[in-house]
Amino acid sequence: MPMIGQTIPEGTYQTYHRQDIQPVTLQSYRGRWLVLVFYPGDFTFICPTELEELGSLYGEFQKLDAEVLGVSTDSVYVHKAWHDTSPAVKGLPFPLVADSGGRLAQKLGVYLAQEGVALRGSFIFDPDGKLCAYEVHNNSIGRNMEELLRKLQAAAFVRENGGVEVCPAGWKPGERTLKPGLDLVGKI
C-alpha cells in the first residue's frame, strides 16, 4: 500500500507522447512536482473522459512546476493506437506511460493482478520525491481532475509556507488558511 512520505519508485518506463516513444526515469523528476494518474486501460469508457479533463487543466499543473504522467498497463504501441483513434486522447499534452506487467502499479499498491490492470490511482510527489497525497478509486468511478489540481495547489502552498500555514477543507488559492496553534483548539 502507498505511504505518505515514501519516495518516487525507481525504474525506467517507456512513454508515448507526440508521435514518439521515449524512456522515462521517474527519479529524474526530482526538483519538480510529479503527478502520476493511473487508469485501467486504453480503449475503455471512463479513462478518456478523465484524461481529457486532465489535459484541459495541464497548463495549471505546469504553472506549479508539475509534470503529469498518465499510466496504464498497456504498451506504448497500444497508447499510440489509442492516441490515433480517440478524439479525447489525440490532443493530450502529457505523456502516457506503459507499465506493462504492472511493476509501477504494484509498487504503489494499485495493481489488480487477476485483471492485469491498475485501479484509478492519483499520486502527487513533491519536489523532494516524497509522496504527499494520493487517492484510489474503484475502476467504475471516474475522478475529478479539478480536485486533483486543488490538492496539488494546497500541497504547493503548504510547502512554500514551510507548514506554518495549512489549508482547510475545500481550500483554493487565495482563500483563508489556518495557522496551527493552541489558540485554534476548540474554536473551529
Residues with catalytic annotation? 47
Q: Given this model, what pLDDT does residue 49 score?
A: 97
C-alpha cell belonging to residue 139: 475502476
Choose which CATH entry (3.40.30.10, 1.20.120.50, 3.30.70.1710, 3.90.226.10) describes domain 12-143. 3.40.30.10
Top-confidence residue, 64 or 180: 64
- Rounded to two decimals, what is the model's pTM? 0.95
Q: Where are the domains of the chain?
A: 12-143
Cα 36–Cα 41–Cα 43 angle in degrees, nearest 5? 125
